[in-house]
Amino acid sequence: MVKRCNSTSGMQSLYEMGTSMIRLIFFAAMIIAFSALGGIANAQQRDPSGSEQRSGPDTELPRAGSLHHPMAFEFTGPDTSEFAAANPFTDYRLVVAFYAPGSDVPTRIRGFYAADGDAADTSAVSGGVWRAMFTPDREGRWRWTARLAEGSDIAIDQDVASGTTIAISQSSGSFDVGPSLADGKDWRASANGRLVAKNGELIATGSGNVWLKTGANSPENLLGYSGFDGTWRIDSNARDGESDSGKQLHRFEPHQQDWRPGDPEWGDKRGHSMIGAVNYLADNGINAAYFLVWNVEGDGKDVWPFIDPNDQTRFDTSKLDQWERVFTHMQNQGIALHVVLQETENELLMDGGDTGRIRKLFIAELVARFGHHNALIWNLGEENGPVHWRPEGQNDAQRRAMIEWLTQVDPYNHPILLHTHAEPDDKDAIAGPLLGLRDLDGLSLQIADPALVHAETVKWFKRSSDAGHRWVLTMDEIGPWQNGAIPDVDAKDDHLALIREALWGHILAGGSGVEWYFGAKFDHNDLSAEDFRSREKLWASSHSARQFIEQTIELGSREICPSDFASTPCLRGTVPGTKRQVAIVYLRAGEALEPGLAKQRKAIEFRDPLNAAELLVDHQLRDRIVVIY
């Protein structure tokens, strides 16, 4: 078995030497060596009679599963390698068709090459295991059929009958799905299930309830982690207008203490600090995390799913299996995956911005490996499209093509969002032409001036509703760029101004929630953050606000208060489980309740915007949340 170097060994060291000649020589040698290995493997796959020799796991395929729990179907197929002449990522395609109880309509799931089937632990680059991941959404007896085929670029061929069929260990079967075994915030729980976009809301299909997020938007290069195979920083970044990534990969050492016995790990007990960071976030009420999966030529330059960042046709199986362990733990801890496919600096690197061979393969592979997760949001790219400070970018037709392909290859219908630029005019120019496009579910908002959050959220709800397709709106990157959400130690007002404008301003406009961006010029910034405790007060205030909203107003009934009712940020709807009406208003220090609102009240409460669970008695000289029943 061939094993790759991990991020602390020779491969990383060569890249950190910074000489392009050494990189070129090294990878040329690797490709030649492994191509030869692949050729030998391919020559040995067939005996003189034409039958294929197989290697792979000696295990049975699943016969039972649980509702909303991902299932792995592993097949013994061609024994090959990541570097084989017949590329296992482009020239082979595993498709498993799943049939729900009582249905003859298939849900087709694309599989992927999995090396030896345990690459997260072994760092293997070769083997004969092919895997498909599936998450059942109903109980009962399911049936399935599988087909592995080969052919030039068959991986991106949508014709399921194309290619030459290759025998695999088992090509059909069935399994029984019982009730979910999870509960609470775990996305496998029966009350959670899949996260979908519908009528401008994010919905948990298990309960049908509206989902509101309070998430972490930083570090954007979360996956630039020293514990992953094949991960290194190509170059540090300290450009004007961007965060400084420093020279080291993330280690998250302050969160080593947050790993618990029985939590995931991989290899030689790697991953504890990353898993500990996930635990810390979940324990502090964070239910979403934003991260890039491709940042070459971007800010961090340390995240890619490939073996070689310059060859986007060969994927790093062990690194992606290690990502999968982190993503699975996030889901089980109630954290939604906000997967950002690219950033503004590299959006033209694949196919010149088109959805051609390379981009199609990239998206299809990510969907195959990670699409089974219940709570996953696809983001087309950070700061997508051209602006005055970077006139090169994808155009409207290229965005539409990318959305169309992602919709075609994702059988789970995960929400698709577009991350915006910071200024209103840029949003108008780039997002405006996409209004009414049914397959785009909404905007991941970046807003430079926190004071504009409420108005911008209201504006895009109105514009998308008027176009016939109301968008989901999330407040994901708050400005100004150099600050964002600064560390607690630097927030002299305990983040009150930020929470007033960005969190309450967005939520009281009907938005789907916030993620906190860490800015560029403070410690633990958007690229260098190592300790999430640096913003513990912010997590507490955010979690408190979300819990208060969820307990006070039925989110499916909420609407912005009409102007004759209130001119300040105001949301109204019904109290959960009742027919009682409630209105929630934000008042700044010194502001009085408007006469129209005062007349409506039958009962009134005043709450602390930094801790919404707390009732205020002496409230006139401070910001407060007013709850009117």
Averaged pLDDT, 544-569: 94
- pLDDT at position 36 over 70: no
- For residue 448, give the nearest of 481, 420, 476, 474 by alpha carbon: 481
- pLDDT at position 15 over 90: no
Are the beta carbons of 380 and 417 closer than 8 angstroms? yes
Residue 597: band (very low, low, confident or very high) from pLDDT cuts 50, 70, 90: confident
Averaged pLDDT, 120-140: 99
Rounded-to-integer distance, Cα 460 and Cα 454, Å: 10
Rounded-to-integer distance, Cα 192 and Cα 195, Å: 8
The C-alpha angle with vertex 145 and arms to 142 and 151, in degrees rounded to 5, equals: 150
The H-or-E segment that residue 401 falls in is: helix 396-409
- For residue 499, give the nearest of 529, 539, 465 by alpha carbon: 539
- pLDDT at position 392 over 50: yes
Phi and psi at residue 455, to the nearest 5°? -65, -40
Token pair 């102007």 is found at: 563
Q: Which fold has domain 1-181?
A: Immunoglobulin-like (2.60.40)
Query: Dihedral of CA 108/110/114/118: which sign?
Result: negative
Token pair 């948990």 is found at: 204
Residue 383: band (very low, low, confident or very high) from pLDDT cuts 50, 70, 90: very high
Distance of CA 361 to the CA centre of its chain: 18
User: What is the per-residue pLDDT across 567-583, written as a single tens digit (0 to 9) for each?
Assistant: 889 999 999 999 999 99
Alpha helices by DSSP H, listed for 59-181, are 119-122
- pLDDT at position 11 over 80: no
Could you write out the DSSP letters of every residue in 488-542?
GGG-TTTTHHHIIIIIIHHHTTT--EEEE---SSSSS-TTT---GGGGHHHHHHH
The DSSP symbol for 208 reads T
Q: What burial letters (b/e) apply to 564-603, b meaning 16+ CB within 10 Å?
A: ebbebbbbbbeebeeeeebbbbbbeeeeebbeebeebeee
CATH 2.60.40.10 domain extents, the chain: 1-181
pLDDT on residue 567 = 85
Averaged pLDDT, 333-342: 99
- pLDDT at position 560 over 80: yes
User: What is the per-residue pLDDT across 148-198, written as a single tens digit (0 to 9) for each?
Assistant: 999 999 999 999 999 999 999 999 999 999 999 999 999 999 999 999 999
Are the beta carbons of 512 and 474 closer than 8 angstroms? yes
Are the beta carbons of 275 and 326 closer than 8 angstroms? yes
pLDDT on residue 603 = 85
Averaged pLDDT, 543-558: 98
Are the beta carbons of 585 and 598 closer than 8 angstroms? no
Are the beta carbons of 326 and 281 closer than 8 angstroms? no
**Residue 514: strand pairing partners:** 214, 475
Domain range 195-552, CATH class: alpha beta
Tokens describing residue 444? 């991941």
Rounded-to-integer distance, Cα 459 and Cα 472, Å: 13
Q: How does the average pLDDT of the chain come out, rounded?
A: 91
pLDDT on residue 582 = 95
SS3 331: helix
Q: Which residue has the higher pLDDT, 38 or 300?
A: 300
Distance between first and last Cα of the chain: 68
Q: What is the pTM of this model?
A: 0.91
- pLDDT at position 16 over 70: no
CB neighbours of residue 435 within 10 Å: 16
Query: Please, which residues have CB within 8 angstroms of residue 28's CB and are 6 or more apart in sequence?
Result: none
How far CA 211 is from CA of 294, 328, 474, 573, in Å, comes to: 27, 19, 12, 16
User: What is the per-residue pLDDT across 423-473, written as a single tens digit (0 to 9) for each?
Assistant: 999 999 999 999 999 999 999 999 999 999 999 999 999 999 999 999 999
Rounded-to-integer distance, Cα 39 and Cα 53, Å: 15
Rounded-to-integer distance, Cα 429 and Cα 396, Å: 10
- pLDDT at position 334 over 60: yes
CATH 3.20.20.80 domain extents, the chain: 195-552
pLDDT on residue 488 = 98
